[in-house]
Each structure stands twice: as structure tokens, then as C-alpha cells.
């Protein structure tokens, strides 16, 4: 495992452990590519925590827009995440529009919290839904895009609840929408190869059932059981 891959994998292991465990069930090089994708997502998702002014956050997001443009033009920038992401994109011919959409969605993080249920759902779909669609692209299963969109939206809505980013009056409607999206994803068909981008949904089920964070070991076991059963 080279330095860039180790850097991405360690970042995902520390900051996005459920996706990390799920990605371990992918074969190489798709596993490496998922780590690169999720490390990129962490770069975007942590912008709001690292800046004190919205303008600075927008500048950072613009840097990533320019960087993605460079990658698609064949150039690169010398950071581990960029190099690893460039290799992943080149392996899979991922549509650039998905990356642009994900960066655009993160503008909401520096602009302020979504104000109502419709905005929360739209934000979750634009962030988690788009990321899951990128994940199945990295796994060579673009036909699973619609399944991934629903799954990623449900996962993102659950994440907003877990992070305390949902107003108390909206908590129940958001949980109901998360369950509906997860059910929609499971009702559709996804090829087995797409599972490592979806396996973490078992943790969403555990949280939504009790509104309590499962233990790390419990979450890992749920993901592993999903993998063994070839379901998400």
C-alpha cells in the first residue's frame, strides 16, 4: 500500500469508520478507490468546522472545484488525496458532474443550516445521495445509481440526526424519511459488486430503531453480517 492510499485509508478509518469497514469488503483496486473518494468527501465535509468565515469556506470549496477540473484535464496537484482520487477517476471514467454536484452541495455547510424538512431532504440527497452514486461508480456498478441515491440520502439523513443537526420538531419526520429512503433502496436491485458502498446502512437501521448510537463493535458486526448475507 503506497503512501497516498495509506493516507486516505487512515483518514477514513478515523473520521468515517462505518464507510471504512464497508469498503474493506471491496476487492482491489476498488477498495483503494473508495478510500480515495471518502477521503475527498471528508475534505469537503470538514470545511465548515475549519473556517470561521463563510468566504474562507467558499474559497476552499473553489479550490476543490479547480482541482477536480485539473484532474479531468489530465493534471494534478501534489497532495495524497488528489493523487489517489485522480488514479481512481482514471480507472473508472466517473462523470465529472457528480463531483461538481457534491462540491456545490457543500456550499450549504458554509451558508447555514437547512431551514425546513424539504431543505434537509434536498441537502441529504445532494451530499449523501451523490456520494453513494460516486461509490457505485467506483465499484463498476453505474446501473445501481438510483439504489445508491436513495441509500445515500437515507444514510445522510440518519447522519444529520446523529450529529444533532436536525431541529427537535423535525426529528421524527426526518427519521421517517430516512426509513422510507432505505426501504426504497432495498426494494430496488443492486448488483453484488455494489454492496461495499451500501453495507453501512445496517448502522442506520440500528440508530433509527433506538435513536441511540450503536457501539463501534456492534456497528462493525452489523456491517460484517450484511456482507456475509450479501444484503444491505
* Structural domain total, the chain: 1
- Name which residue leads in pLDDT, 207 or 48: 207
* Degrees to nearest 5, angle at CA 50 with 44 and 54: 80
Going by the DSSP 8-state scheme, the letter that residue 115 receives in this structure is: -
Over range 65-71, report the average pLDDT. 96
Say if residues 85 and 13 touch (Cβ distance below 8 Å).
no
Per-residue pLDDT tens digits for 154-205: 999 999 999 999 999 999 999 999 999 999 999 988 999 999 999 999 999 9
Mean pLDDT of 142-160: 97
Evaluate if residue 1 carries a pLDDT over 70.
Answer: no
74: left (phi over 0), alpha (psi -120 to 50) or beta: left
Burial class (CB in 10 A: 0-12, 13-18, 19+), 51: middle
Give the mean model confidence (pLDDT) for residues 86-93.
93
> Distance of CA 207 to CAs 86, 117, 157, 163, 226, Å?
34, 20, 11, 12, 16
Minimal CA–CA distance to 125: which of 96, 151, 100? 151
pLDDT, averaged across the chain: 94
Whether 48 has a pLDDT exceeding 90, the answer reads no
Asked if the model's pLDDT at residue 54 lies above 90, the reply is no
CATH assignment at residue 93: 1.10.600.10
Q: Which residue range forms the structural domain that includes residue 173?
A: 3-229
Amino acid at each position: 500500500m503506497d503512501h497516498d492510499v495509506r493516507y486516505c485509508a487512515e483518514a477514513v478509518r478515523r473520521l468515517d469508520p462505518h464507510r471504512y469497514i464497508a469498503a474493506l469488503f471491496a476487492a482491489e483496486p476498488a477498495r483503494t478507490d473508495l478510500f480515495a473518494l471518502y477521503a475527498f468527501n471528508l475534505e469537503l465535509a470538514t470545511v465548515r468546522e475549519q473556517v470561521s468565515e463563510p468566504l474562507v469556506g467558499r474559497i476552499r470549496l473553489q479550490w476543490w472545484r479547480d482541482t477536480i477540473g485539473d484532474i479531468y484535464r489530465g493534471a494534478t496537484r501534489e497532495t495524497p488525496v488528489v493523487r489517489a482520487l485522480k488514479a481512481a477517476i482514471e480507472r473508472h471514467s466517473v462523470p465529472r458532474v457528480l463531483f461538481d454536484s457534491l462540491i456545490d452541495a457543500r456550499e450549504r455547510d458554509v451558508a447555514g443550516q437547512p431551514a425546513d424538512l424539504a431543505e434537509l431532504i434536498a441537502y441529504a440527497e445532494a451530499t449523501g445521495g451523490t456520494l453513494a452514486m460516486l461509490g457505485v461508480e467506483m465499484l463498476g456498478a453505474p446501473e445501481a445509481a438510483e439504489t445508491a441515491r436513495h441509500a445515500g440520502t437515507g444514510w445522510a439523513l440518519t447522519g444529520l440526526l446523529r450529529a444533532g443537526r436536525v431541529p427537535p420538531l423535525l426529528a421524527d419526520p426526518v427519521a421517517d424519511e430516512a426509513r422510507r429512503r432505505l426501504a426504497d433502496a432495498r426494494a430496488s436491485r443492486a448488483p453484488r459488486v455494489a454492496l461495499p458502498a451500501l453495507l453501512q446502512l445496517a448502522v442506520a437501521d440500528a440508530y433509527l430503531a433506538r435513536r441511540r448510537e450503536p457501539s463501534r463493535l456492534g456497528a462493525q458486526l452489523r456491517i460484517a453480517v450484511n456482507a456475509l448475507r450479501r444484503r444491505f
